[in-house]
């Protein structure tokens, strides 16, 4: 029983047999306002290399009305298990399938959303990985490309957007018909349809003769917040940069970006019709880090138009290359575009991408970047920190290895050679080898085919005059968790070593040495005989991918003067190193707090500040000795209030500290301040208590029992929007009562009524670090329910529950034991098993870190 799965073997067999020419797809969405199902008619023309052979086409639908193959009507009983059997193919075939497909509320397939502000219905599709088959019958695999022609019937007056430019609608009356022109040859997963009374803003990218129409869309209720100019500006910078670097004109007829509701991912690179989560239309003040993240997402999706859409992976095992390339491209474009607002993008990359990669790469589920992807279930849990962040880090290293000019020369040849086709990793590496003259087989084996992170440590001795007598870089093999795939190997690293001196509290780089590190010990003779600097920083400039440790003296200086680095990147690297040591139990949670309190006042990079805020909270909640935890949280809350009051009025730092305080406030005085900010009786000069901040404040008041249903409903009345409903659901679930927890649990686990976004909000509210006693009974309920959830819910919905409701806050041996008992008896499918094993690893890590923190208390 394949269920909704598809194996790589099946895909290979089908690709050998078929060549798909074109699809004509008619969708009748005139029922959209009522919901339920819609009529989907697909006519697909394809050839078969072996006449008489059989195959199947994919479809996930409540029912099929008609299947006609080459003029012959087939029994609709041939539709079973998400497939339609196609026996007895001719050399040239025409298949017609009429189906009733379902609108969804999970963000997969054709998502249907009703905006509470105007009561209107908004639709959009999300197809990656295998969900185009929820909207029309198709051969759902990336290497069966075809031309797609959509004809859409929808309520009159709607905006209807697809991959091809929107035509004038035909017909009069309640419903109209939009007949789109055929697309170029693309994969099914990047086709798209967005429909509803969305509003658009228009511009064009012009470059010589070239003119690409640009559109930006959102719901009318968000229109007043849409800063289209800023979005067009970043988009045009991306067009300039990528067209020049890739030497290939943008390959599609127009470029629309649509901000859509309840979107599961950050964005999706549908050809010429990118969808983005509409939290990127900021309703309230956000920090510059949010604008930077949005710009990165915009550039990421634009880079996919070439890498992924024009040239596409043959199978999902090369998903990593698709995502890594786009992630690398977003950072290099921000770093190098002449008018970029975020030239420090490599600091953000170190702060966010690297941290994500390091975390993921130490889970029991870690895997080589080139993962075995045997079927669709494998790929759906592989949109992870290895695929996006480690892959991009390793690509950055590859660029350093072959040189950026050779890298882009290879990329240019690759696009020209494979335009509108499908490729494997070897095709790109081959082009890079030709351009650079380097053999990349050994590089690929060391970096792409093995898992884990090497540790780099300095080993130095001083003579009696305080000069360096010997200096070496020690490399350790990755400590792969039990059960992890792959071999633990040493790798070649191109790194820089930065030497820093301390003057008037400032840490200034006085020298930089670049070298190759290979094997377990690499001597650095350049440093011998020199005066010992205040800080020696390995992997300065973040060229390689490794866990970096400081020698004892450097660590002491950094602990006291982290904020003293005059450059943002070494600060980010030291923050990352300290955080990694905390996670590993090498730095006690209480010492990490001390370091954060000393370093944060001088940290100017707002993205780094916000990361450290999150990390401190996690360290205190999970990694601190429970006997000291409350003292640590109290100290953090006090520091947050002080920093909030001291911050420059109206600054991003002020907003970040307000949120940090709202996350931890615990004394009556602190909660009074939150309540006062909310009801206007207290003020912090310059701090705008706007819609989103109000909900943040109320969330903490609800979780501490200071606000109840009356306050939550009143706030929802002020903000009766979709976002407001999500926040209200979260506040209700956060209340510290047995009843509130039971209601939240039942709404998620025992019912499937909640949309993807409301469910996520309820889960977020349910899990409160200060409510361990209330949450304790749910560990048992979790293990009783989780397999049924996996089997009965869609991928996105079940993943939210499996990961989100795991008893992660119960950092106890009992949680590990319960998990192990379940793993031993439940016979979970591999993808379910992986998610639970990853969650278990968090508890195991926290227990070890708590031991380290306890040991520190006995110093
Ligand atoms: Zn992507």
For residue 705, is it left (φ>0), alpha (ψ between -120 and 50) or beta?
Answer: left
pLDDT tens readout for residues 507-531: 999 999 999 998 999 999 999 999 9
CB 565 within 8 A of CB 598: no
- Tell me the C-alpha distance between 253 and 669, whole Å: 59
Provide the terminal-to-terminal Cα distance of the chain, rounded to the nearest Å: 59
CB 102 within 8 A of CB 61: yes
**Residue 225 confidence (pLDDT) above 70:** yes
Task: State the alpha helices, DSSP H only, in 305-352.
Answer: 319-336, 345-348
Q: What is the pLDDT of residue 487?
A: 79
Residues 723, 724, 726, CA angle at the centre, nearest 5°?
A: 65
For ligand 1, the distance from its centroid to the CA atom of residue 7, given in whole angstroms, is 23
pLDDT tens readout for residues 820-847: 999 999 999 988 999 999 999 999 999 9
Identify the band that residue 169 occupies on the pLDDT scale cut at 50, 70 and 90: very high
**Mean per-residue pLDDT for 786-797?**
94
Alpha-carbon Rg for the chain, nearest whole angstrom, is: 28
- Tell me the C-alpha distance between 738 and 754, whole Å: 21
For ligand 1, the distance from its centroid to the CA atom of residue 271, given in whole angstroms, is 12
For ligand 1, the distance from its centroid to the CA atom of residue 613, given in whole angstroms, is 27
Contacts of 825 (CB under 8 A, 6+ apart): none
Contacts of 746 (CB under 8 A, 6+ apart): none
For ligand 1, the distance from its centroid to the CA atom of residue 838, given in whole angstroms, is 23
- Return mean pLDDT, the chain: 96
| Residues carrying an active site annotation | 301
For ligand 1, the distance from its centroid to the CA atom of residue 323, given in whole angstroms, is 5
For ligand 1, the distance from its centroid to the CA atom of residue 300, given in whole angstroms, is 6
Tokens 């609608």 -> residue? 169
pLDDT tens readout for residues 374-421: 999 888 878 889 999 999 999 999 998 888 999 999 999 999 999 999
- Tell me the C-alpha distance between 124 and 105, whole Å: 11
pLDDT tens readout for residues 443-462: 899 999 999 999 999 999 99
For ligand 1, the distance from its centroid to the CA atom of residue 121, given in whole angstroms, is 28
**Mean per-residue pLDDT for 710-734?**
98
Contacts of 9 (CB under 8 A, 6+ apart): 374
**Which uninterrupted H or E stretch holds 358?**
helix 355-360
**Residue 482 confidence (pLDDT) above 70:** yes
**Mean per-residue pLDDT for 460-476?**
95
**Residue 600 confidence (pLDDT) above 90:** yes
pLDDT tens readout for residues 274-314: 999 999 999 999 999 999 999 999 999 999 999 999 999 99
For ligand 1, the distance from its centroid to the CA atom of residue 607, given in whole angstroms, is 21
For ligand 1, the distance from its centroid to the CA atom of residue 397, given in whole angstroms, is 19
Q: What is the pLDDT of residue 344?
A: 94
Helix axes 709-718, 722-734, angle to 10 degrees: 170
**Mean per-residue pLDDT for 473-500?**
89
Q: What is the pLDDT of residue 859?
A: 76
- Tell me the C-alpha distance between 187 and 305, whole Å: 12
Identify the band that residue 372 occupies on the pLDDT scale cut at 50, 70 and 90: confident
For ligand 1, the distance from its centroid to the CA atom of residue 651, given in whole angstroms, is 32
- Tell me the C-alpha distance between 700 and 244, whole Å: 49
The pTM of this model reads 0.95
For ligand 1, the distance from its centroid to the CA atom of residue 734, given in whole angstroms, is 33
**Mean per-residue pLDDT for 331-343?**
96
- Tell me the C-alpha distance between 173 and 513, whole Å: 73
Q: What is the pLDDT of residue 485?
A: 72
| Burial profile 752-779: b = 16 or more Cβ within 10 angstroms, e = fewer | eebbbbbbbbbbbbbbbbbbeebbeebb
**Mean per-residue pLDDT for 205-234?**
98
**Mean per-residue pLDDT for 223-236?**
98
Nearest to 220 by CA among 162, 278, 154: 278
Q: What is the pLDDT of residue 379?
A: 86
The CB density around residue 272, as the number of other CB atoms within 10 Å, is 28
pLDDT tens readout for residues 543-593: 999 999 999 999 999 989 999 999 999 999 999 999 999 999 999 999 999
Q: What is the pLDDT of residue 2?
A: 62
For ligand 1, the distance from its centroid to the CA atom of residue 468, given in whole angstroms, is 46
For ligand 1, the distance from its centroid to the CA atom of residue 331, given in whole angstroms, is 13
Q: What is the pLDDT of residue 1?
A: 52
- Tell me the C-alpha distance between 7 and 126, whole Å: 21
Q: Which two tokens stand for residue 407?
A: 């890298």
């Amino acid at each position: 029983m394949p269920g909704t799965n598809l194996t790589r073997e099946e895909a290979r067999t089908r690709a050998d047999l078929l060549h798909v020419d074109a699809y004509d797809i008619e969708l009748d969405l005139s029922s959209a306002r009522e919901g339920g199902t819609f009529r989907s008619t697909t006519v697909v023309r394809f050839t078969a290399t072996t006449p008489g052979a059989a195959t199947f086409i994919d479809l996930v639908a409540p029912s099929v009305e008609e299947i006609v193959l080459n003029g012959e009507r087939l029994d609709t009983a041939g539709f079973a298990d998400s497939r339609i059997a196609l026996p007895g193919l001719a050399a040239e075939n025409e298949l017609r399938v009429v189906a009733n497909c379902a609108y969804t509320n999970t963000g997969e397939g054709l998502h249907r959303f009703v905006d509470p502000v105007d009561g209107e219905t908004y639709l959009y599709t999300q197809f990656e990985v295998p969900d185009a088959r929820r909207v029309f019958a198709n051969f759902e695999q990336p290497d069966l490309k075809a031309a797609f022609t959509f004809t859409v019937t929808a309520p009159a007056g709607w905006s209807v957007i697809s991959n091809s430019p929107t035509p004038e609608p035909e017909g009069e009356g309640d419903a109209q018909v939009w007949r789109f022109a055929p697309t170029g040859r693309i994969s099914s997963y990047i086709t798209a349809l967005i429909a509803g009374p969305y509003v658009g803003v228009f511009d064009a990218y012009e470059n010589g003769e070239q003119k690409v129409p640009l559109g930006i869309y959102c719901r009318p209720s968000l229109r007043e917040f849409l800063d289209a100019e800023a979005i067009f500006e970043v988009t045009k910078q991306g067009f300039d940069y990528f067209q020049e670097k890739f030497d290939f004109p943008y390959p599609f007829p127009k470029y629309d970006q649509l901000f859509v509701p309840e979107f599961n991912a950050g964005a999706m690179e549908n050809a010429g019709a990118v969808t983005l989560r509409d939290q990127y239309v900021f309703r309230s003040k956000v920090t510059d880090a949010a604008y930077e993240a949005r710009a990165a997402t915009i550039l990421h999706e634009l880079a996919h138009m070439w890498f992924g859409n024009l040239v596409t992976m043959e199978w999902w095992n090369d998903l990593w290359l698709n995502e890594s390339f786009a992630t690398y491209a977003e950072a290099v474009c921000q770093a190098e575009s002449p008018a970029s607002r975020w030239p420090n993008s490599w600091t953000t990359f170190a702060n966010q991408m690297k941290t994500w990669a390091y975390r993921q790469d130490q889970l029991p589920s870690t895997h080589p970047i080139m993962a075995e992807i045997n079927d669709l279930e494998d790929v759906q849990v592989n949109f992870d920190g290895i695929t996006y962040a480690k892959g991009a880090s390793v690509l950055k290293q590859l660029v350093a290895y072959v040189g950026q000019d050779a890298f882009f020369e290879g990329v240019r040849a690759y696009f020209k050679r494979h335009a509108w086709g499908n490729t494997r990793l070897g095709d790109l590496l081959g082009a890079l080898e030709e351009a650079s003259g380097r053999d990349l087989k050994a590089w690929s084996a060391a970096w792409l085919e093995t898992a884990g992170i090497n540790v780099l440590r300095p080993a130095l001795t001083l003579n009696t005059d305080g000069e360096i007598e010997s200096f070496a870089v020690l490399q350790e093999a990755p400590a792969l968790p039990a059960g992890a795939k792959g071999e633990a190997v040493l790798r070649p690293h191109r790194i820089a070593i930065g030497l820093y001196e301390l003057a008037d509290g400032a840490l200034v780089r006085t020298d930089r040495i670049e070298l190759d590190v290979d094997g377990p010990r690499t001597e650095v003779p350049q440093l011998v005989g020199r005066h010992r600097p205040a800080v020696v920083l390995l992997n300065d400039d973040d060229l390689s991918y490794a866990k970096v440790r400081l020698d004892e003296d450097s660590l002491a200086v950094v602990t006291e003067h982290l904020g003293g680095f005059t450059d943002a990147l070494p600060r980010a690297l030291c923050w990352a190193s300290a955080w990694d040591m905390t996670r590993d139990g090498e730095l006690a949670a209480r010492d990490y707090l001390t370091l954060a309190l000393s370093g944060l006042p001088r940290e100017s990079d707002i993205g780094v500040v916000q990361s450290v805020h999150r990390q401190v909270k996690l360290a205190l909640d999970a990694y601190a000795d429970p006997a000291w935890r409350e003292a640590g949280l109290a100290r953090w809350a006090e520091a947050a209030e002080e920093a909030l009051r001291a911050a420059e009025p109206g600054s991003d730092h002020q907003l970040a500290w307000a949120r940090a305080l709202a996350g931890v406030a615990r004394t009556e005085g602190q909660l009074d301040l939150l309540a006062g900010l909310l009801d206007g009786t207290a003020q912090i000069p310059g701090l705008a208590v706007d819609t989103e901040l109000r909900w943040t404040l109320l969330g903490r008041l609800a979780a501490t029992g200071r606000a109840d249903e009356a306050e939550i409903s009143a706030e929802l009345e002020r903000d009766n929007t979709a976002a407001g409903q999500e926040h209200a659901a979260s506040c209700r679930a956060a209340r510290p009562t047995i009843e509130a927890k039971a209601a939240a649990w039942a709404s998620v686990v025992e019912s499937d009524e909640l949309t993807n976004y409301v469910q996520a909000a309820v889960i977020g509210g349910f899990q409160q670090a200060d409510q361990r006693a209330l949450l304790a009974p749910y560990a048992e309920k979790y293990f009783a329910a989780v397999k049924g959830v996996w089997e009965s819910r869609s991928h996105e919905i079940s993943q939210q529950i499996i990961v989100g409701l795991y008893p992660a806050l119960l950092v106890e041996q009992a949680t590990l034991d319960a998990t192990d008992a379940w793993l031993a008896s439940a016979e979970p499918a591999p993808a379910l098993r992986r998610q639970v094993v990853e969650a278990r690893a968090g508890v195991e890590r926290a227990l070890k870190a708590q031991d380290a923190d306890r040991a520190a208390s006995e110093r």
